[in-house]
């Protein structure tokens, strides 16, 4: 800078004490520490963790999507009106009269759904690379809490357009709450406006969606990243036979990691942008509380739960089974493992084999169970409360436990697997079954919720 | 005068007065926290608007007794209910919300049943379950007949497992 002693120079130096673009190694190191957005990065990273196939950039993609959601969401907030009278028309104003309003809305809609998919994939990556062993156990819990927060964001946002799709999907989803003993009634008292969803519901959901969720999410994200840093970064990838490396070779974060992150981020934004330009977010007719569409389905991420409702007694489908699965998920980092398999995909060679077996078995058995259940529960059956709890609740649940137990006993006997592989196998069984249930709920349920092929 | 507790002795050496005051502070802190939680939670209660007359949530005039035929069902969309006039002339105000997951159940005249479009639950004219997945009868609103006019109070829906004769309201016998 020529006029270093000018007033411009003095202002610039008061903000940036170092050169804005670092020119060499030491300036780069200082740059990392001084720049707010990058200061949580280490100055070097293990070169093996730069491999894309370690994480597939999923965590980073989630961050990008969250930032996109906040940006588009804030813009939307200037146009959207959270009242039952004006909500729908404010969205039409957004689409037709606001410059790029249609694009902002589409972006917000598609990023919301993509985000749920990405964080599920991220969780699967973390699990299958064993990145939940100490010292990363608590970060798994934080991640779980963020998952819940994102689901809450999706669910509350789903209602806001106040069209037929929104109104009835949320009616059905809050209807499921009724089957939670004691607290279900309490939740409904808060969410519902009297007996149905109404203006108070919209108000409540809007407040949660635009204030509570973003605050909680940002706090959890900061916590999550700090824990990653504390754990020394990502797990170091290795083959099952290799020993874990205690001092891996490292290379500078700038440019190696930052460049890769920028590439993934810009590619993701480009893809999402193109999609949002070409495909519109759905908007059905304005909400009509007197007319339930046929069929009425919950949002796709709740379709698995709704499908379970078709087969199990409601308290089991909506309360007991999700609670049990949730507890198992939370307990995963704290179970007794025989080894720390951080960095190895699917635990071991035999882990890959038994994992594949678990997936195939769940893929075959779940549709079979669904069809059997449909045959047994054909509408027109006698209605009575007592046998239902046993026949459609306890009995099928015990059956599932037995199937799982037999499979685990088999792989233990045949392949002498350790607890790592067994737990992974159970995880895969539950996961695959739920995926099948979700796909059934989305694509194989038609009018009157009868089971039918989608073509 | 500040009395320092001896570090080797541990908790036992904290003077009793200090222990008591600490406990008192802790208790007051818990009370403050409870108050704070109560304040936050009270924002979650829906602000119930004044029950407008004629609107859902308030008292709705359905019509004179004579204007309803026995064994008929009349829909009241604004009130979110159906007025069922039974064979014996008794009245029931049946909430239109399916007891399975909350869809609005239409009355299907041809089948003489309430049939839910969402998952095919079916109910009879008294609201009893004919077909699952619903497992309890449709909710009812209280019916009052004054001067031969039928009023329905939609302020609160009454849950029931099944139909009971006491749920039916009969017009006064006119001599």
Contact A196 B119 (CB under 8 A): no
Q: Give the integer Cα–Cα distance in Å for A371 and A376.
A: 9
Q: Give the integer Cα–Cα distance in Å for A293 and A290.
A: 10
Q: Closest residue of B to A204, CA-based?
A: B44
Which residues in chain B are contacts of A295 at CB distance < 8 A?
117-119
Q: Write out the H or E segment, with its range, that includes residue B108.
A: strand B107-108
Chain B CB within 8 Å of residue A193 CB: yes
Q: In the predicted model, what is the mean pLDDT of residues A18-36?
A: 75
Domain count, chain A: 2
Whether A239 and A341 share a structural domain: no
Instruction: Write down the mean pLDDT value for chain A.
Output: 89
The pLDDT score that the predictor gives to residue B175 is 40
Whether A277 and A375 share a structural domain: no
Chain B CB within 8 Å of residue A81 CB: no
Asked if B148 and B171 touch (Cβ cutoff 8 Å), the reply is yes
The tens digit of pLDDT for each residue in A244-266 reads 888 889 998 888 998 999 999 99
Whether A270 and A374 share a structural domain: no
Among the partner-chain residues B45, B48, B117, the one whose CB lies closest to the CB of A292 is: B117
The pLDDT score that the predictor gives to residue A195 is 74
Q: Is the pLDDT of residue A355 over 70?
A: yes
Å between A140 CA and nearest CA of chain B: 28
State yes or no: cis peptide before B51, omega within 30 of 0: no
Q: How far out from the chain centre does Cα A166 lie? A: 20
Å between A120 CA and nearest CA of chain B: 27
Residues of the domain holding A235: 54-283
| Tokens at B36, concatenated | 């704070």
Nearest to A346 by CA among A336, A357, A330: A357
The helix, strand and coil proportions of chain B, stated in percent and rounded to the nearest 5, come to 25, 30, 45
CA distances from A317 to A144, A180, A232, A304 (A): 21, 10, 40, 10
Chain B CB within 8 Å of residue A454 CB: no
Whether A166 and A309 share a structural domain: no
Q: Give the integer Cα–Cα distance in Å for A168 and A162.
A: 9
B1 or A277: which carries more pLDDT confidence? A277
Asked if B62 and B75 touch (Cβ cutoff 8 Å), the reply is no
Band the pLDDT of A386: cuts 50, 70, 90. very low
Whether A316 and A264 share a structural domain: no
Whether A308 and A340 share a structural domain: yes
The pLDDT score that the predictor gives to residue B138 is 93
The pLDDT score that the predictor gives to residue A255 is 85
Q: Could you tell me the end-to-end alpha-carbon distance of chain B, in angstroms, rounded to an integer?
A: 93
Whether A269 and A309 share a structural domain: no
**Left (φ > 0), alpha (ψ -120 to 50) or beta: where does A100 sit?**
left
Do the domain assignments include residue A296? no
The pLDDT score that the predictor gives to residue A385 is 46
Q: In the predicted model, what is the mean pLDDT of residues A162-178?
A: 89
The residues facing B115 across adjacent strands are: B122
Which residue of B42, B78, B102, B163 is the best one to mutate when testing the A interface, meaning the one whose CB has the most A CBs within 10 A?
Answer: B102
Do the domain assignments include residue A45? no
Q: In the predicted model, what is the mean pLDDT of residues A428-439?
A: 95
Which residue of A186, A292, A312 is the best one to mutate when testing the B interface, meaning the one whose CB has the most B CBs within 10 A?
Answer: A292
Do the domain assignments include residue A204? yes
Digits of tens for pLDDT over chain B (175 positions)? Answer: 565 655 555 556 788 999 999 999 999 999 999 999 999 888 887 666 555 556 777 888 888 988 899 999 999 988 899 999 999 889 999 999 998 888 899 999 898 999 988 888 899 999 999 887 788 899 999 999 988 899 998 888 888 888 999 889 988 765 4
Contact A194 B57 (CB under 8 A): yes
Chain B CB within 8 Å of residue A383 CB: yes
Pairing of strands B72-76, B81-85: antiparallel
Among the partner-chain residues A172, A190, A309, the one whose CB lies closest to the CB of B44 is: A190
Q: Does the domain formed by B59-167 have CATH 2.30.30.170?
A: no
Whether A272 and A331 share a structural domain: no
The residues facing B104 across adjacent strands are: B97
Those of residues 140-169 in A touching chain B at CB distance below 8 A are: 168
Whether A309 and A273 share a structural domain: no
The pLDDT score that the predictor gives to residue B42 is 85
Whether A166 and A82 share a structural domain: yes
Nearest to A150 by CA among A123, A175, A181, A125: A123
How many beta-carbon pairs under 8 angstroms link A with B? 88
Asked if A352 and A346 touch (Cβ cutoff 8 Å), the reply is yes
Band the pLDDT of A205: cuts 50, 70, 90. very high
Q: What is the CATH number of the domain that holds A221?
A: 1.20.810.10
Contact B119 A448 (CB under 8 A): yes
The pLDDT score that the predictor gives to residue A448 is 73
Residues with Cβ within 8 Å of residue A110, at least 6 apart in sequence: A272, A275, A276, A279, A281
| Tokens at B161, concatenated | 């497992």
Nearest to B48 by CA among A212, A345, A201: A201
Please report where in the chains the tokens 């036992």 appear, as a residue.
B12
With a pLDDT cut of 90, the percent of chain A lying above it is: 61
Q: Is the pLDDT of residue A1 over 60?
A: no
Among the partner-chain residues B45, B97, B129, the one whose CB lies closest to the CB of A195 is: B97
Q: In chain A, count H helices and then E strands.
A: 19, 2
Q: H helices within A279-415, ranges in order?
A: 303-311, 314-315, 321-331, 349-376, 385-389, 395-415
The pLDDT score that the predictor gives to residue B7 is 56
Asked if B104 and A289 touch (Cβ cutoff 8 Å), the reply is yes
| Tokens at A227, concatenated | 């824990």
Which residue of B118, B136, B152, B154 is the best one to mutate when testing the A interface, meaning the one whose CB has the most A CBs within 10 A?
Answer: B118
The tens digit of pLDDT for each residue in A407-422 reads 999 999 998 888 999 9
Which residues in chain A are contacts of B157 at CB distance < 8 A?
195
The tens digit of pLDDT for each residue in A63-78 reads 999 999 999 999 999 9
Do the domain assignments include residue A49? no
Q: Which of A249, A283, A317 is the last residue of a domain?
A: A283
Å between A315 CA and nearest CA of chain B: 12
Among the partner-chain residues B46, B118, B129, the one whose CB lies closest to the CB of A294 is: B118
Å between A283 CA and nearest CA of chain B: 20
- Indicate the SS3 state at residue A411: helix
Do the domain assignments include residue A79? yes
Do the domain assignments include residue A12? no
Band the pLDDT of A279: cuts 50, 70, 90. very high
Which residues in chain B are contacts of A383 at CB distance < 8 A?
129-132, 135
Q: Give the integer Cα–Cα distance in Å for A98 and A131.
A: 45
- Indicate the SS3 state at residue B142: strand
Å between A452 CA and nearest CA of chain B: 14
HSE-CB of A379 using CA atoms within 13 angstroms: 19
- Indicate the SS3 state at residue A450: coil
Do the domain assignments include residue A249? yes
């Amino acid at each position: 800078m020529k006029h270093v002693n000018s007033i411009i120079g003095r202002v610039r130096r008061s903000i940036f004490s170092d050169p804005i673009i670092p020119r060499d190694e030491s300036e780069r190191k200082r740059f990392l520490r001084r720049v707010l957005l990058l200061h949580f990065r280490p100055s070097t990273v293990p070169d093996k963790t730069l491999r894309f196939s370690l994480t597939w950039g999923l965590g980073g993609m989630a961050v990008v999507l969250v930032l996109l959601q906040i940006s588009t969401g804030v813009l939307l907030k200037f146009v959207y009106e959270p009242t039952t009278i004006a909500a729908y028309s404010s969205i039409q104003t957004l689409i037709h009269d606001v410059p790029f309003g249609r694009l902002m809305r589409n972006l917000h809609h598609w990023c919301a759904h993509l985000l749920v998919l990405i964080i599920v994939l991220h969780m699967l990556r973390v699990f299958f690379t064993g990145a939940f062993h100490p010292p990363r156990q608590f970060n798994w819990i934080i991640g779980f809490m963020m998952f819940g927060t994102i689901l809450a964001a999706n669910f509350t946002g789903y209602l806001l357009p106040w069209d037929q799709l929104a109104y009835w999907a949320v009616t059905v989803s809050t209807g499921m709450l009724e089957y939670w003993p004691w607290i279900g009634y309490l939740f409904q008292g808060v969410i519902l406006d009297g007996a149905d969803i109404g203006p108070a519901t919209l108000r409540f959901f809007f407040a949660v969606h635009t204030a509570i969720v973003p605050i909680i999410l940002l706090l959890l994200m900061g916590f999550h990243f700090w824990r990653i840093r504390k754990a020394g970064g990502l797990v170091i990838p290795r083959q099952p036979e290799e020993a874990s490396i205690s001092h891996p070779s490292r290379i500078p974060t700038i440019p190696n990691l930052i460049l890769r992150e920028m590439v993934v981020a810009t590619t993701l934004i480009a893809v999402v942008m193109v999609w949002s330009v070409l495909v519109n977010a759905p908007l059905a007719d304005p909400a009509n509380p007197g007319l339930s569409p046929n069929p009425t389905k919950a949002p796709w991420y709740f379709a698995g739960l709704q499908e379970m409702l078709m087969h199990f007694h409601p308290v089991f489908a909506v309360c007991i089974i999700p609670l049990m699965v949730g507890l198992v998920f939370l307990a995963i980092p704290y179970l007794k493992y025989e080894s720390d398999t951080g960095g190895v995909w699917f635990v071991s060679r035999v882990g890959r084999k038994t994992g594949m077996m678990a997936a195939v078995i769940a893929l075959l058995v779940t549709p079979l169970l669904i069809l059997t259940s449909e045959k047994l529960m054909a509408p027109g059956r006698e209605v009575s409360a007592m046998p239902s709890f046993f026949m459609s609740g306890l009995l099928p649940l015990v059956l599932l436990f037995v199937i799982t137990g037999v499979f685990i006993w088999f792989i233990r006997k045949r392949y002498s697997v350790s607890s790592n592989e067994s737990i992974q196998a159970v995880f895969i069984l539950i996961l695959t079954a739920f995926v099948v249930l979700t796909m059934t709920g989305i694509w194989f349920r038609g009018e009157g919720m009868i089971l039918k092929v989608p073509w | 005068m500040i009395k320092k507790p001896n570090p080797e002795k541990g908790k036992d050496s904290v003077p009793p007065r200090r222990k008591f005051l600490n406990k008192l502070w802790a208790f007051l802190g818990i009370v403050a926290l409870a108050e704070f939680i109560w304040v936050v939670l009270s924002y979650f209660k829906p602000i119930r608007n004044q029950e407008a007359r004629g609107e859902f949530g308030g008292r709705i005039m359905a019509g004179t007794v004579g204007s309803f035929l026995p064994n008929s069902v009349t829909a009241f969309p604004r009130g979110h209910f159906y007025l069922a006039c039974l064979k014996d002339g008794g009245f029931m105000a049946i909430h239109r919300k399916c007891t399975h997951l909350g869809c609005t159940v239409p009355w299907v005249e041809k089948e003489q049943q309430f049939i839910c479009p969402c998952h095919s639950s079916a109910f009879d004219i008294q609201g009893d379950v004919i077909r699952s997945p619903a497992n309890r009868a449709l909710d009812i609103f209280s019916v009052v007949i004054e001067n031969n006019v039928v009023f329905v109070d939609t302020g609160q829906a009454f849950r029931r497992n099944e139909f009971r004769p006491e749920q039916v309201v009969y017009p006064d016998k006119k001599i």
